[in-house]
Amino acid sequence: MKQKFDIIESTCVPLPLANVDTDQIIPARFLKATIRDEAFYGARLFRDWRFHPDGSPVREFVLNDPRYGGEILVAGKNFGCGSSREHAAWALAGYGFRAVISSDFADIHRQNELNNFVLPVTVPEDFLEELFGSIAADPAARVRIDVPAQTVTNLSTGRTCRFPLDAYKKYCLTHALDDIDYLLERQDRIEAFEAEHPQP
């Protein structure tokens, strides 16, 4: 869902597992769906970890634990590895996550998140481990992500670090623009350039 990004302050859902691949985020059998409804994919986020084959919830899985919730997923390193399916980003957005914090993202998945208004926040390993510790000690622990300043703060400890964010994607996120919106915003300039530089 397109929305402007400014400050995100929220409790977190911890997933302290490395190498979570896109088939775990959204199993391949759901890729046959012909709809582009984020809510459809959000309901199937981590489907095989979240539910038993009969559809009953796996009580031990973090998304079924009532202690945890919020707009931020905190995950282990190499998040989103595996196939390039954009559906994984749709599922994260459809579930309600606005940001994912990890020490490392698979490149294509990272771009898919950005294109679908989910912010990938890359932090050092020690910051990530500290954050997992804060959430384990207090499920109500909160994190503050300042998108314009490109900082993330563990409010339990007060520790802040900067995260990388491409200037173009930062502009799009803070103005709620997808790639087409960005071009349309500049339509007059594009047409003026084309008029000044006619094709031979």
Once rounded to an integer, what is the mean pLDDT over residues 166-187?
Answer: 93
**CA distance linking residue 32 with residue 146, whole number of Å:** 37
**CA distance linking residue 168 with residue 84, whole number of Å:** 22
**CA distance linking residue 151 with residue 61, whole number of Å:** 29
Position 137 confidence tier, pLDDT thresholds 50, 70, 90: very high
pLDDT tens sequence across 33-83: 888 788 999 999 999 999 999 999 999 999 999 999 999 999 999 999 999
Q: What mean pLDDT value characterizes the chain?
A: 95
Q: Which pLDDT score, from 0 to 100, does residue 191 have?
A: 83
- Is the pLDDT at 1 greater than 80? The verdict is no
Number of alpha helices (DSSP H) and beta strands (DSSP E) in the chain: 9, 7
Query: Which numeric CATH code is attached to 7-165?
Result: 3.20.19.10
Sorted by where each begins, the domain ranges of the chain are 7-165
DSSP structure string for 60-104: TSGGG-TT--SSEEEE-SSBTBS---THHHHHHHHHT--EEEES-
Q: pTM score, two decimals? A: 0.93
- Is the pLDDT at 10 greater than 90? The verdict is yes
Q: Which pLDDT score, from 0 to 100, does residue 33 have?
A: 82
